[in-house]
């Protein structure tokens, strides 16, 4: 049995645990109070939290009876181990911060951020150490001074980024501030722990230090990348399971930090930063559509809770350490130290400015570049926060650092800098942006937003039938509105046509980018495709001064991967049992490329239609009686209207031109493998049907006609079908013959026995796949192979479409031609068809390559020596050699050199060299064969015209 004497102590411990939970609850209450009721103060949220923490810490240090509920709980939190503090909050803060960054912008700014987070941190650490050592009266060693400088290298821009976002600043500047801070944290963390070893008096050689630095700085990102790839792969196999998907992201963030820091001995901070960047770039697109919104909300809540706790706790710890260090005769912090804290704030601000000046030439050239005004904002954004406070706690609790006053002053100065930077820099950032003139949007954007607001108001009033009421308002109401003359004149003077085109180009690309995201949610494109397509739109957004050309970014992604080409050759020649799998891989590669081109065309069409409809509403705005104000300047209004219409027309032309290449690619894929587009359209139709059923089920659920259990069963059934369609689409290529079978069925090899075909042809042939525009053979190289095309078409040894062909060595084909006349005739017939495509003359110029092949298969092959006489009954095609027409008893006519068509003549042809000739079917037979096709086309066109006329008549009636 339990000893009764021990019960009060255990109850007391239980009470302290409950008090710790009470501190957690009250901290979140203070956070909600600051977010909701104190938003009018314009003071950054994190600064308010730090002040609340100071208030709680001061109150707790008074031992007042009013703090009895929080007393023991606060003491438990303020004595928290720094490792536990970092492990609890850093994974959430770092992952959430990196997850919200756009990968395209991160990639462009990565070099600038690494410059500031790498060499920049070293410069800042050294300068801080020099100033502190020579101007502060503490007599610290160089090791302690450098440790002090590294501790202050970690920045926390939470307050600044929120202000920049609220002020409507470009995402490039916000991303640079946020990304630099994330990488700063990792670099400062690594540098701090390297210097901490020396500060503790432990011996470490330069080689060991370099080895440890590489282990931390390289192993950390590698660990984050490893966990990111594993998380993304797992998410791809989860389908519409929000709870599991969200839990997996949280679990991965903590697992990456713990495994990297504890098991691998690398930087857990850098590992989580890289994990978050990977998740924002790739992982977020692997999340199913039902979990995507919940995932973002969950991580925003976690980040909010973590920031609230850590900043309130920081205020508590700061006030407690300052109060403890300032009391009694052995006080460590004196009144003069407060002045040095203020001087240190000035030092850090100047050092950050000097660091930017040192690297200014590179910052202007790398990434998006940086202006002087942005440099001022970047210098002012060097706030200190959670990571720095945690590092200072490491110093405070590290008993191996012999200087006790240094340990206490580290916490004091870090707390003072967190308070000063948040309260001063965070609070004054809006005024700084306004003073620099960075809060005013461009004139084109102002006009767009103003007209957008007008349209919203006009549509709402029209819907509610308020037009008559508004028109009856007194003139004084309209007179209170600003003069249209003033509005139009000001806008016209500040804006030119280039700015208007640039603005509309950007709006169209933003709409295209959002359309890609909608395609992804509707399962039309997968996670890799939406990543590539959004990247193409982002690259176009970076070049708004240039015409639209996003297809140029997508086109390389449509190429057949080298591994698919290699698989075709390997499976066909060495592992025939893999041939079907290799064909399926080629089919999927073409399907993915066609889907990219199709999505780009559809997105442009949808976005352009929205933009044109938007412009059509703008034209009607000027006929609204509310906008015909006094002294309306028709000249300025007309100028803006003309600029707007011309700009929209130019954007429409650019959009259509950008889709030309995508349409050509689709036509090439259709010509080579028409079943690819059939598969895409069939899958898309099935998805639309299932999604429509899902929406209809949701409408039924709102009526209350079905119970929750029944609704869950129906939803799971639809999800199962969508999942099966998404992961296991129907094999549309299953019925198509394999390449080896296509080669065996070629008419040229019809008379070759199967055994000889396999030994002499198939084993020596090489299956090749060529992309559109790829050369089948290098220009000027000696030909050693014959290409037998199975899929696609070519022109002058350049693939006009995707081409699937066998390359057969000359000697193998020559041996068969010598033994089998059918092979010889078939080879010359195929050669003639290929040559006639370019040298067929007016008689054959309207025939396609497939029609030429059909025609030449019926040709009779002839070989004649020099001086032989040739009579052409219908038409013939001279493959090589030279002939001259000659009438009986007359002189030879103008010679004809092959390849060329030989029309039927009353005269005969005399061979001037050895020749190879193909006797074609009679011309009248050829015309008789082609005429029904032409007549059918004319009849189809006439029927379509008649149907269109009937529809028009019905509509008019």
- Digit-coded pLDDT (tens) for 678-729: 888 888 888 888 888 888 888 888 888 888 888 888 888 888 888 788 777 7
Q: Residue 162: what pLDDT?
A: 64
**How many angstroms separate the CA atoms of 149 and 118, rounded?**
14
Beta bridge partners of 863: 916
Q: Residue 5: what pLDDT?
A: 44
- HSE, side-chain direction, 13 A CA sphere, residue 427: 16
Q: Residue 172: what pLDDT?
A: 84
Q: How confident is the model at residue 620 (pLDDT cuts 50, 70, 90)?
A: very low
In a domain, 475, yes or no: no
**How many angstroms separate the CA atoms of 745 and 290, rounded?**
50
| Same domain? 660 vs 693 | no
In a domain, 823, yes or no: no
Encoded tokens for 853: 């092949």
Beta bridge partners of 917: 862, 878
Share of residues in the chain with pLDDT > 70 (%): 80
Residue 14 DSSP symbol = H
Q: Residue 185: what pLDDT?
A: 84
Q: Residue 496: what pLDDT?
A: 62
∠ CA 588-590-591 to the nearest 5 degrees?
60
Task: Report the candidate in 449, 535, 541, 443 with the shortest Cα–Cα distance to residue 489.
Answer: 443
Question: Residue 748, class by beta-carbon neighbours within 10 Å (0-12 exposed, 13-18 middle, 19+ buried)?
Answer: buried
User: pLDDT tens-digit profile of 647-659?
Assistant: 778 888 888 888 9
- The predicted model gives 844-863 an average pLDDT of 83
Decide which of 808 and 14 is more confident.
808
In a domain, 526, yes or no: yes
Residue 63 has pLDDT above 80, yes or no: no
| Same domain? 419 vs 500 | no
**How many angstroms separate the CA atoms of 190 and 369, rounded?**
28
- The predicted model gives 385-394 an average pLDDT of 82
Residue 943 has pLDDT above 70, yes or no: no
From 179-193, 335-349, 562-576, 689-703, the region with the lowest mean pLDDT: 562-576
- Greatest mean pLDDT among 315-324, 413-422, 468-477, 626-635: 413-422
**How many angstroms separate the CA atoms of 165 and 702, rounded?**
37
| Same domain? 87 vs 176 | yes
User: pLDDT tens-digit profile of 254-276?
Assistant: 999 999 988 998 988 899 999 99
| Same domain? 276 vs 301 | yes
Residue 833 has pLDDT above 80, yes or no: yes
What is the DSSP secondary-structure string of 642-694? HHHHHHHHHHHHHHHHHHHHHHHHHHHHHHH-HHHHHHHHHHHHHHHHHHHHH
Task: Report the candidate in 375, 349, 351 with the shortest Cα–Cα distance to residue 362.
Answer: 375
From 79-88, 139-148, 909-918, the region with the lowest mean pLDDT: 79-88
Decide which of 854 and 447 is more confident.
854
| Same domain? 378 vs 265 | yes
Cβ atoms of residues 315 and 296 within 8 Å: no
Task: Report the candidate in 40, 775, 171, 41 with the shortest Cα–Cα distance to residue 506.
Answer: 171
**How many angstroms separate the CA atoms of 87 and 83, rounded?**
6
From 315-329, 529-543, 705-719, 795-809, the region with the lowest mean pLDDT: 315-329
Choose one of 716, 732, 748: the last residue of a domain: 732
Q: How big is the chain by its Cα radius of gyration, in Å?
A: 38
Decide which of 941 and 160 is more confident.
160
| Same domain? 661 vs 693 | no
| Same domain? 337 vs 408 | yes
Phi and psi at 409, nearest 5°, equal -65, -30
Decide which of 443 and 487 is more confident.
443
**How many angstroms separate the CA atoms of 722 and 107, rounded?**
34
User: pLDDT tens-digit profile of 272-329?
Assistant: 999 999 999 888 888 887 888 889 899 999 988 988 888 888 888 777 777 766 665 5
Task: Report the candidate in 120, 600, 92, 81 with the shortest Cα–Cα distance to residue 304.
Answer: 92
Residue 64 has pLDDT above 70, yes or no: no
What is the DSSP secondary-structure string of 792-849? S-EETTEESS-EEEEEEEHHHHHHHHHH-HHHHHHHHHHHHHHHHHHH-HHHHTT--H
Q: Residue 942: what pLDDT?
A: 32
In a domain, 133, yes or no: yes
Cβ atoms of residues 923 and 875 within 8 Å: yes
Q: Residue 486: what pLDDT?
A: 46
From 198-207, 289-298, 355-364, 403-412, the region with the lowest mean pLDDT: 198-207
From 89-98, 358-367, 515-524, 626-635, the region with the lowest mean pLDDT: 626-635
Q: Residue 345: what pLDDT?
A: 94
Cβ atoms of residues 147 and 213 within 8 Å: no
In a domain, 853, yes or no: no
| Same domain? 544 vs 609 | yes
User: pLDDT tens-digit profile of 752-761?
Assistant: 888 888 888 8
Q: How confident is the model at residue 52 (pLDDT cuts 50, 70, 90)?
A: confident
Helices within 42-170 (DSSP H only)? 45-61, 68-78, 82-99, 103-117, 119-135, 142-151, 158-166
Residue 365 has pLDDT above 60, yes or no: yes
Share of residues in the chain with pLDDT > 90 (%): 17
Decide which of 610 and 947 is more confident.
610
Q: How confident is the model at residue 483 (pLDDT cuts 50, 70, 90)?
A: very low
User: Domain count of the chain?
Assistant: 3
| Same domain? 211 vs 151 | yes
Cβ atoms of residues 652 and 608 within 8 Å: yes
Phi and psi at 794, nearest 5°, equal -145, 165
**How many angstroms separate the CA atoms of 817 and 749, rounded?**
10
911 SS3 class: strand
- The predicted model gives 845-867 an average pLDDT of 84
Q: How confident is the model at residue 533 (pLDDT cuts 50, 70, 90)?
A: very high
Q: Residue 615: what pLDDT?
A: 62
- Greatest mean pLDDT among 99-103, 703-707, 936-940: 99-103
Q: Output the CA–CA distances (angstroms, integers) from residue 531 to 278, 279, 281, 828, in the order listed.
A: 12, 12, 7, 49
Q: Residue 733: what pLDDT?
A: 62
Q: Residue 348: what pLDDT?
A: 94
Helix axes 242-258 and 289-326, enclosed angle (nearest 10): 40
Phi and psi at 473, nearest 5°, equal -65, 155
Q: Residue 272: what pLDDT?
A: 93
The structure's pTM equals 0.77
In a domain, 915, yes or no: no
Kind plus residue range of the DSSP H or E element containing 770: strand 766-770
- The predicted model gives 760-786 an average pLDDT of 83
In a domain, 942, yes or no: no
Q: Residue 56: what pLDDT?
A: 83
Decide which of 370 and 639 is more confident.
370
**How many angstroms separate the CA atoms of 864 and 876, rounded?**
14
Decide which of 197 and 358 is more confident.
358
| Same domain? 303 vs 396 | yes
In 826-930, at which residue ranges do the beta strands (DSSP E only) sit? 860-864, 869-870, 875-880, 882-886, 896-897, 900-903, 908-911, 915-920
Q: How confident is the model at residue 476 (pLDDT cuts 50, 70, 90)?
A: very low
- The predicted model gives 477-493 an average pLDDT of 44
Residue 840 has pLDDT above 80, yes or no: no
Q: Residue 58: what pLDDT?
A: 78
Q: Residue 528: what pLDDT?
A: 86
From 14-28, 174-188, 768-782, 807-821, the region with the lowest mean pLDDT: 14-28
Residue that has been written with the tokens 């002058």 in this structure? 796
Q: Residue 163: what pLDDT?
A: 62
877 SS3 class: strand
| Same domain? 662 vs 706 | no
What burial letters (b/e) apply to 50-87, b meaning 16+ CB within 10 Å?
Answer: bbbbbebbebbbeeeeebeebbbbbbebbeeebeebbb
Q: Output the CA–CA distances (angstroms, integers) from residue 853 to 794, 844, 850, 918, 933, in the order listed.
A: 13, 12, 5, 13, 17
| Same domain? 164 vs 199 | yes
Could you tell me the CATH number of the domain that includes residue 234?
1.20.1530.20
- The predicted model gives 465-476 an average pLDDT of 49
Q: Residue 938: what pLDDT?
A: 32
In a domain, 738, yes or no: no
From 171-175, 587-591, 643-647, 780-784, the region with the lowest mean pLDDT: 643-647
Residue 65 has pLDDT above 60, yes or no: no
- The predicted model gives 768-790 an average pLDDT of 82
Q: Residue 260: what pLDDT?
A: 92
Residue 626 has pLDDT above 60, yes or no: no
Q: Residue 462: what pLDDT?
A: 58
Domain limits at 356? 78-435
Q: How confident is the model at residue 616 (pLDDT cuts 50, 70, 90)?
A: low
């Amino acid at each position: 049995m339990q000893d009764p004497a021990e019960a009060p102590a255990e109850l007391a411990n239980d009470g302290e645990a409950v008090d710790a939970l009470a501190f957690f609850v009250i901290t979140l209450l203070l956070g909600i109070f600051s977010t909701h009721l104190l938003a009018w103060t314009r003071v950054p949220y994190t600064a308010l939290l730090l002040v609340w923490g100071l208030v709680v810490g001061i109150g707790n240090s008074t031992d007042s009876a009013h703090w009895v509920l929080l007393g023991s709980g606060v003491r438990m939190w303020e004595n928290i181990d720094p490792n536990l503090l970092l492990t609890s909050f850093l994974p959430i803060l770092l992952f959430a911060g990196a997850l919200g960054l756009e990968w395209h912008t991160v990639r462009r700014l990565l070099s600038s951020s690494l410059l500031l987070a790498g060499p920049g941190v070293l410069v800042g650490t050294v300068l801080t150490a020099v100033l502190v050592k020579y101007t502060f009266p503490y007599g610290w060693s160089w090791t302690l001074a450098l440790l002090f400088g590294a501790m202050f290298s970690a920045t926390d821009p939470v307050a600044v980024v929120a202000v920049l976002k609220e002020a409507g600043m470009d995402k490039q500047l916000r991303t640079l501030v946020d990304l630099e801070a994330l990488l700063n944290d990792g670099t400062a963390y690594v540098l701090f722990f390297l210097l901490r070893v020396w500060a503790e008096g432990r011996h470490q050689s330069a080689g060991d230090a370099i080895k440890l630095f590489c282990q931390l700085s390289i192993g950390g990102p590698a660990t984050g990348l490893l966990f990111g790839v594993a998380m993304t792969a797992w998410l791809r196999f989860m389908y519409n399971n929000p709870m599991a998907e969200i839990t997996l992201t949280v679990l991965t963030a903590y697992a990456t930090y713990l495994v990297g820091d504890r098991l691998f001995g690398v930087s857990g901070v850098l590992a989580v930063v890289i994990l978050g960047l990977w998740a924002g770039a790739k992982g977020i697109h692997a999340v199913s559509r039902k979990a995507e919104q919940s995932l973002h909300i969950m991580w925003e809540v976690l980040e909010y809770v973590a920031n609230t706790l850590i900043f309130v706790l920081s205020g508590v710890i700061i006030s407690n350490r300052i109060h403890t260090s300032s009391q009694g005769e052995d006080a460590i912090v004196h009144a003069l130290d407060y002045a040095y804290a203020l001087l240190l704030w000035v030092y850090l601000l100047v050092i950050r400015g000097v660091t930017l000046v040192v690297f200014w030439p590179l910052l202007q050239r790398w990434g998006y570049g940086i202006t002087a005004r942005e440099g001022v904002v970047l210098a002012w954004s060097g706030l200190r926060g959670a990571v720095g406070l945690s590092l200072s706690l490491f110093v405070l609790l590290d008993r191996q650092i012999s200087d006790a006053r240094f340990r206490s002053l580290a916490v004091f100065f870090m707390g003072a800098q967190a308070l000063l930077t948040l309260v001063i820099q965070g609070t004054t950032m809006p005024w700084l942006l306004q003073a620099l003139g960075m809060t005013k949007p461009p004139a084109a954007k102002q006009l767009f937003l103003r007209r957008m607001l007008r349209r919203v108001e006009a549509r709402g009033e029209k819907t509610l039938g308020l037009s008559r009421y508004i028109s009856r308002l007194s003139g004084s109401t309209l007179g209170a509105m600003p003069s249209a003359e003033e509005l139009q004149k000001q806008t016209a003077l500040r804006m030119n046509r280039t700015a208007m085109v640039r603005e509309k180009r950007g709006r169209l690309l933003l709409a295209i980018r959002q359309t890609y995201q909608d395609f992804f949610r509707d399962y039309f494109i997968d996670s890799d495709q939406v990543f590539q397509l959004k990247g193409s739109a982002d690259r176009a957004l970076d070049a708004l001064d240039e015409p639209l050309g996003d297809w140029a970014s997508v086109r390389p992604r449509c190429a057949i991967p080298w591994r698919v080409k290699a698989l075709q050759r390997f499976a066909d020649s060495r592992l025939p049992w893999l041939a079907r799998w290799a064909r399926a891989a080629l089919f999927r590669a073409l399907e993915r490329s066609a889907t990219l081109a199709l999505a780009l065309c559809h997105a442009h069409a949808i976005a352009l239609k929205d933009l044109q409809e938007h412009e059509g509403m703008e034209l009607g705005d000027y006929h609204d009686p509310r906008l015909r104000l006094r002294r309306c300047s028709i000249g300025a209004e007309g100028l803006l209207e003309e600029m707007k219409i011309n700009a929209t027309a130019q954007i429409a032309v650019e959009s259509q031109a950008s889709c030309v290449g995508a349409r050509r690619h689709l036509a090439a894929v259709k010509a080579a493998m028409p079943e690819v587009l059939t598969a895409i359209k069939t899958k898309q139709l099935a998805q639309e049907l299932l999604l429509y059923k899902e929406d209809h089920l949701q409408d039924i659920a709102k009526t209350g006609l079905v119970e929750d259990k029944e609704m869950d069963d129906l939803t799971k059934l639809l999800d199962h079908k969508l999942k099966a369609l998404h992961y296991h689409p129907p094999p549309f290529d299953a019925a198509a013959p394999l390449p080896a079978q296509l080669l065996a069925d070629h008419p040229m090899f019809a008379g070759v026995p199967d055994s000889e075909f396999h030994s002499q042809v198939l084993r020596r042939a090489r299956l090749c796949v060529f992309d559109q525009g790829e050369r089948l053979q290098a220009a000027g190289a000696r030909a050693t192979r014959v290409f037998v095309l199975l899929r696609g078409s070519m022109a002058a040894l350049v693939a006009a479409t995707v081409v699937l062909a066998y390359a057969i060595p000359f000697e193998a084909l020559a041996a068969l031609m010598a033994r089998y006349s059918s092979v010889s005739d078939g080879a010359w017939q195929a050669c003639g068809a290929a040559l006639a495509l370019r040298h067929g003359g007016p008689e054959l110029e309207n025939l396609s390559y497939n029609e030429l092949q059909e025609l030449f298969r019926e040709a009779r092959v002839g070989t004649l020596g020099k001086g032989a006489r040739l009579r052409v009954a219908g038409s013939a095609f001279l493959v090589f050699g030279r002939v001259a027409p000659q009438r009986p008893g007359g002189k030879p006519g103008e010679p004809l050199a092959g390849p060329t068509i030989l029309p039927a003549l009353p005269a005969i042809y005399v061979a001037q060299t050895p020749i190879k000739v193909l006797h074609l079917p009679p011309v009248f037979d050829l015309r008789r064969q082609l005429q029904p096709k032409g007549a059918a086309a004319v009849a189809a066109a006439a029927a379509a015209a008649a149907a269109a006329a009937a529809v028009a008549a019905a509509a008019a009636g």
